[in-house]
Structure 1
Amino acid sequence: MSLQFISDSTGETTGVFIPINEWNELKSRFKGIEQEEFTVPAWHVDLVRNRVYDYKNQPEQAIDFDTAMDDIEKEL
């Protein structure tokens, strides 16, 4: 995919340009991708809020990404 990143005067990325033929291909592969509104299911919002709450109250319980991936791979 030949994306072009758009940056502001400070160099921060502010957008992405996708060539129209590639956009059309994405739309055919992922139905609904062109919708401007996206609603996150309430159960997902609740799950994330609970996890943030747990982290703020018990940060020592958190593990880093690599450790989490190692644990997952052990179970495979």
Structure 2
Amino acid sequence: MNIQYISDSQGITTGVFIPINDWNALKSKYSEIEKEEANNIPQWHKNVVSDRLANFKSDRSQTLDFDQAIDDIENNF
């Protein structure tokens, strides 16, 4: 496994980078990892997503066509 440690400007380790293939192997070996990931999503994040989905379902007039949105972004930069 090719793990890389991430350090701040003072040399204190603040994180770890695990290549995706290694991560997927770990998830296969330890199936409870995915359950743990799902449980770590803050409730307020879940609430925001639920509210946005409800708003989308009740009023789609505020949505944009993906291709049109990309064109608008590209034309403004």
TM-score (norm 2): 0.44
Q: Higher helix share goes to which structure? A: 2
TM, length-normalised to structure 1: 0.45
